[in-house]
Amino acid sequence: MDGWDFLLIVIRVVVIFVMLMITTLLLVWFERKVVADMQDRIGPSRAGPWGILQTLADGMKLFFKEQITPRKVEFGLYIAAPILATVPAFLIFMAVPFGRPFTLTLGGEPREILLQGADLNIGLLFILSMSSIAVYAVVLAGWSSGSKYPLLGGVRATAQAISYEAALGLSVIPVVMYTGSVQLSEIVEFQRANLQFLGNVIPFIPNWNLFLLAPSFVIFFIAAVAETNRAPFDLVEAEQELVGGFHTEYSGLRFALFFLAEYINMFTMSAIAVTLFMGGWSGPTWDGVLPALVSGVLPTFWFFAKVVVLLFVYVWLRATLPRLRYDQLMEFGWKRLIPGALAWLMIIGVVLAWRQFGNPWS
Amino acid sequence: MVELILFVILSAVVIGGALSMVLGRNPVYAAMGMLATLFGLAVIYVIQLAHFVAVVQVIVYAGAVMTLFLFVIMFIGVDKAQSMEEGLAWQRPAVLVVVAAIVAAVGGLVLSGRWEWITGDRITSGGQLAQIPEAPNGTIEAIGESLINRWLLPFEATAALLIIASVAAIVLAFYRPRRVSPATEDSE
């Protein structure tokens, strides 16, 4: 650990921070544009080409707006809640690899540079722990606002988060069992080979967990949508019932932080789904055919391309599905997703044991 | 040196959190204090290279248990003027006795130089640090290995205990003493 290593860590963190901010700006615009297309509207069109700078303008507006603090708030927690929402959102992405590691000679010796905040050997568990922290922001915001609608939103958020966290955790276990690692870089590495099915190697098809663990992917994605409080699971901030839910009493920059956290979470959840099920940054790079720089950047391009596909599904869901009723939400979580995830876990366990130990009757 | 600085800061967080949990008037702030304690402990585990324990601490305690606490506090709605009367009259003297016993035991061990009683065999009697084995890359493998091989029976027994406890909790919650007349049962 010398000065260069330290500098590289700082650069990585700053790069990820900036990347997430820019992604959020584009994501909000992307969502508004796609929803507008689906609803036969035009959407943002004034600020910049195709209205792409609209989010920036909105952000500036929120930044300069007055921050109103209602009289009955619990001030300490009221201020802490937006910060608590944003910090885990940024931290989760630190564990996700978004490009192929490359070597660079710095300070006289070659160093491997990871395109990843930190290659934790407990990466997946770190992600789960951080996403379980994220719920505090919503709960505390709802409680500390000292008003009825936010409190209802906060209570709903807790119940929803507890219910769907279980499904999220259970859906990830088959991936860990199948790939044999919780380190995200190893999970990506595992998926780079060709698909193996019933002992045959199938050419041209990558070994994505999506193919063999499809039920896990479906459960994971549904639970991820619920964890990020997105439609059709956005009961936490249901406009028609709760005004704005937990962030009713927030304005200006404090509201902007919640908004930022929601979109970052949406992006990170898609990124995690890509890493676990769709091969992460793996993809054809044509090393040797293309210039080294191009084939070095291509993995990052594949990663973002896959993430955009999932983000489109997120937006698509929002534009298509009506919100669930509260009892439907709970029933779906506890009576469908969690038993389904458990059954699938059992099946995977049996299959893997069969593979390793042979027929049980022979 | 870095470890020492971090340890001091984190100890302050842990102790401050614990104190605010005990002394806090508002139950939500008390819950937040406990959360700070759990988090500080998790970071201390990270410094000790026990990443897995740290993450499990955050997932289980900070993520699940404390969320439930908050849920209950928010749902039931706590009056700020709660009765501070103690139901158990002998509780305070008993606590004092236990604390005095622990302090005496630890103090005696420290004064007599028997550090290994407190820190395990990492530190020898002379207060010297024993050779700490090289930290393996990842503690999950080691924990999983010993959990499934050496400690399988205690592990399964704990699992059974937890199941029994949760079943018992459900039974207690749903148990109703026999009604006087069937009419009241219908009206429910």
pLDDT in tens, B43-73: 888 887 778 888 888 888 888 788 888 877 7
| A246 lies in some domain | yes
| A125 lies in some domain | yes
Count of A–B CB contacts within 8 Å?
A: 74
Across the range B158-183, mean pLDDT stands at 81
> Within 10 Å of residue B123's Cβ, how many Cβ atoms?
14
Please say whether the beta carbons of A177 and A216 come within 8 A.
no
**Are A136 and B56 in contact (CB < 8 Å)?**
no
Q: Which of B59, B74, B75 sits opposite A132 (nearest CB)?
A: B59
**Chain A residue at shortest CA distance from B67:** A158
Q: In chain B, what are the domain boundaries? A: 1-78, 91-132, 135-176
**Chain B residue at shortest CA distance from A180:** B141
For each of chain A's 362 residues, which pLDDT tens digit applies?
577 778 888 888 898 899 888 888 888 888 888 888 888 888 888 887 888 888 888 888 888 888 888 887 778 888 888 888 888 888 888 888 888 877 777 767 777 777 777 777 788 888 888 888 888 888 888 888 878 888 888 888 888 888 888 888 889 999 888 888 888 888 888 888 777 766 677 777 777 888 888 888 999 999 988 888 887 887 777 777 777 777 777 878 888 888 888 889 889 989 999 988 888 888 777 777 777 777 778 888 888 898 999 999 988 988 888 888 888 888 888 888 899 999 999 998 888 888 888 777 77
Q: How confident is the model at residue B161 (pLDDT cuts 50, 70, 90)?
A: very high
CATH match of B1-78 with 1.20.120.1200:
yes
Q: How confident is the model at residue B165 (pLDDT cuts 50, 70, 90)?
A: very high
Preceding omega of A44 cis (within 30 degrees of 0)? no
**Are B71 and A161 in contact (CB < 8 Å)?**
no
**Are A121 and B59 in contact (CB < 8 Å)?**
no
Q: Which of B26, B64, B75 sits opposite A132 (nearest CB)?
A: B64
CA–CA dist B134, A359 (Å, integer) = 41
Q: What confidence score (pLDDT) does residue B162 get?
A: 92
- Residue A115 pairs with which residues in a beta bridge? A99
CA–CA dist A246, A161 (Å, integer) = 14
A187 touches chain B (CB under 8 A): no
**Are B67 and A132 in contact (CB < 8 Å)?**
yes
| A32 lies in some domain | no
Structural domain boundaries enclosing A240: 71-357
For residue B36, list chain A residues with Cβ-Cβ distance below 8 A: none
Q: Which of A121, A140, A143 sits opposite B138 (nearest CB)?
A: A121
**Are B52 and A122 in contact (CB < 8 Å)?**
yes
Residue by residue, DSSP assigns A12-39 as HHHHHHHHHHHHHHHHHHHHHHHHHHHT
**Are B74 and A142 in contact (CB < 8 Å)?**
yes
Q: What confidence score (pLDDT) does residue B61 get?
A: 86
Q: What is the Rg, in whole angstroms, of the alpha carbon atoms belonging to chain A?
A: 22
Residue by residue, DSSP assigns B78-132 as --SS-----S-TTHHHHHHHHHHHHHHHHHHHHHTT-THHHHGGGB-TTSPBPPP
Q: What are all long-range contacts of B141-149, with beta carbons under 8 Å and residues at least 24 apart? A: B143/B52, B143/B53
Count of domains forming chain A: 1
Q: What confidence score (pLDDT) does residue A357 get?
A: 82
Q: How confident is the model at residue B81 (pLDDT cuts 50, 70, 90)?
A: low
| A60 lies in some domain | no
A258 touches chain B (CB under 8 A): no
Q: What confidence score (pLDDT) does residue B16 get?
A: 92
For residue B51, list chain A residues with Cβ-Cβ distance below 8 A: 120-122
Q: Which of A121, A158, A161 sits opposite B137 (nearest CB)?
A: A121
For residue A74, list chain B residues with Cβ-Cβ distance below 8 A: 26, 28
Q: What confidence score (pLDDT) does residue B187 get?
A: 47
| A6 lies in some domain | no
Q: What confidence score (pLDDT) does residue B188 get?
A: 43
Q: Which of B29, B62, B75 sits opposite A133 (nearest CB)?
A: B62
Across the range B162-172, mean pLDDT stands at 91
**Exposure string (b/e) for B40-77, b if CB count within 10 Å is 16 or more?**
bbbbbbbeeebbbbbbbbbbebbbbebbebbbebbeee
CA–CA dist A287, A294 (Å, integer) = 9
Which amino acid type is present at position A122?
I
Q: What confidence score (pLDDT) does residue B77 get?
A: 64
Residue holding tokens 């009955």? A72
Q: How confident is the model at residue B84 (pLDDT cuts 50, 70, 90)?
A: low
Q: What confidence score (pLDDT) does residue A96 get?
A: 87
**Are A129 and B62 in contact (CB < 8 Å)?**
yes
**Are A125 and B64 in contact (CB < 8 Å)?**
no
Q: Which of B56, B71, B137 sits opposite A158 (nearest CB)?
A: B71
CA–CA dist A114, A220 (Å, integer) = 26
Which amino acid type is present at position A102?
F
Report residue A94 CA to chain centroid gap: 12
